[in-house]
């Protein structure tokens, strides 16, 4: 955790507190790095390449600078999702750390674990409710072309 935000609102700290995540200072080559600036989108098939997920907990205002640092691992961005947190409610791709990790886990096929993680937050169900169908569709996507088709079917533009 980079401690760039209000510690009372830090979702990563809460995940650590509840034993659902660990605070790490070094990453390994077989971890998924959730990077909103990565070139490739996370797909279910990426599950074969990793054994852990790392969410870089930082402020959105400092994200550009934070992600210029070299993090070892498989860098992937999430497909577009709507924030369910009270700060960035319904904004596209302005997710908290727990929303990002939960979405990644869901897309990789661990839906029950994803929902368990969201249960620790009053607004966690809101993230799921906003994105349920998208998450289900993304968890079936076999390529970035399919993700593009999903976005078109929901009339979501990322540009």
What DSSP designation does 80 have? P
158 domain-assigned: no
20 domain-assigned: yes
pLDDT of residue 2: 44
106 by Cβ neighbours in 10 Å (0-12 / 13-18 / 19+) ranks as buried
3-state secondary structure of 137: helix
Model-wide pTM > 0.75: yes
pLDDT of residue 60: 57
Query: What is the number of structural domains in the chain?
Result: 1
pLDDT of residue 115: 96
pLDDT, tens only, 107-131? 999 999 999 999 999 999 999 999 9
Residue 32's H or E segment, with its range, is strand 31-34
1 domain-assigned: no
72 domain-assigned: yes
82 domain-assigned: yes
- Residue ranges, the chain, pLDDT below 70: 1-9, 12, 58-68, 159
Output the six-digit token pair for 117.
């993680």
58 domain-assigned: yes
pLDDT, tens only, 74-92? 999 999 999 999 999 999 9
pLDDT of residue 130: 97
Query: Which residue range is the domain that position 59 belongs to?
Result: 7-153
């Amino acid at each position: 955790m980079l401690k760039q935000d209000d510690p009372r609102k830090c979702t990563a700290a809460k995940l650590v507190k509840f034993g659902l995540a660990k605070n790490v200072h070094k990453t390994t080559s077989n971890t998924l790095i959730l990077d909103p600036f990565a070139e490739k989108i996370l797909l279910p098939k990426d599950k074969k390449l990793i054994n852990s997920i790392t969410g870089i907990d930082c402020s959105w205002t400092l994200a550009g600078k934070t992600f210029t640092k070299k993090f070892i691992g498989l860098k992937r961005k999430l497909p577009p999702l709507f924030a369910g947190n009270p700060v960035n409610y319904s904004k596209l791709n302005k997710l908290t750390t727990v929303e990002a990790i939960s979405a990644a886990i869901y897309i990789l096929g661990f839906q029950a674990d994803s929902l368990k993680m969201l249960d620790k937050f009053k607004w966690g169900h809101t993230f799921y409710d906003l994105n349920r169908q998208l998450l289900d569709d993304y968890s079936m996507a076999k390529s970035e072309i399919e993700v593009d088709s999903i976005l078109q079917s929901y009339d979501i533009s990322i540009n």
